Amino acid sequence: MWNKVKIFLEMIKFEHTIFALPFAFMGAVLGSVVQFDALPSWAQIGWIILAMVGARSAAMGLNRLIDKAIDKKNPRTANRAIPAGLLSSLEVLLFIVISFALLFWAAANLSPLAMKLLPIAVFMTVIYSYTKRFTWACHLILGLTIALAPLGGWVAVTGSIDWTAVVLYLSVAFWTAGFDVIYACQDADYDRKEGLHSIPSRFGIARALLLARLFHVFTAVGLMCLFLMTNLSWWYLAGLVVSYVIMFYEHYIVSPNDLSKLNTAFFTMNGVLSVVVFSFTFLDLVVRYLW
């Protein structure tokens, strides 16, 4: 049983939750302070965690199930759970149903608007895995899907959406799209050969990396706009400086002629960035709330 649990956790890359969860917390904390001048309750944080676990588990399970034939042919992904025969399609389907049930349960205990928007979140979670079959904009669609984490955190505690929430949503969407373009560079030749769509396979690795940089410029501008639109102070600005350095370094270590540090750019740097941005935002808001 424990071995099976480990296989499921490996399938959904549970450790990559660090990409989106800090931004979900950021949306919740920022929204609560902006709207109510108070921090979210522990109950709200708990339900948000459950919603994130359910949503991300369902999304990753769907991706692995929908892409099982593609993964089997790609040497880089052939050892994933389904093509390697470690999990059956039926087991993964059951896992997806349970994960969605967890998401619905959590949303029902948050805000009415969260429940109303849930069908949109489910649709985007499902449709993303198909987009590489027909559009190179799949990275942007992934970004818009993962960015539902901070938007969901905001909606969960405020029951509303305003322009600050939209700016946060778009900032995280472009951040995600940017690092996904970098990650997709390693499969550019395979995608082109198999007729799959991505920015690297469509425009080449050099142009893809330039577009990834542009996406992250949009992220940098968006995060600065949050400072101008709220009462965030110099603690948040300090976090922005650190995050800008991280994004610069992420692009500095990857070039069209050298993708050897791609995993560092994708996994390590982006995990650190999300934690940094949330931590400094939280520190800023806690200092403001306490004083």
Asked whether the predicted pLDDT for residue 229 surpasses 80, the reply is yes
For the segment 232-254, what is each residue's pLDDT rounded down to a tens digit?
A: 999 999 999 999 999 999 999 99
Give the pLDDT confidence score for residue 259 in this predicted structure.
85
- Give the DSSP letter of residue 266: I
Give the pLDDT confidence score for residue 80 in this predicted structure.
85
Give the pLDDT confidence score for residue 76 in this predicted structure.
84
Q: pLDDT averaged over the chain?
A: 90
Asked whether the predicted pLDDT for residue 18 surpasses 80, the reply is no
Give the pLDDT confidence score for residue 119 in this predicted structure.
93
Contacts of the segment 238-246: beta carbons below 8 A, 24+ positions apart: 238/280, 239/276, 239/277, 239/279, 239/280, 239/281, 239/283, 239/284, 240/277, 240/280, 242/276, 242/280, 243/273, 243/276, 243/277, 244/220, 246/272, 246/273, 246/276
Asked whether the predicted pLDDT for residue 121 surpasses 80, the reply is yes
CA distance 87 to 173: 31
Give the pLDDT confidence score for residue 10 in this predicted structure.
79
Give the pLDDT confidence score for residue 245 in this predicted structure.
95
Confidence of residue 16 (pLDDT cuts 50, 70, 90): low
Asked whether the predicted pLDDT for residue 5 surpasses 80, the reply is no
Rounded to two decimals, the pTM is: 0.92
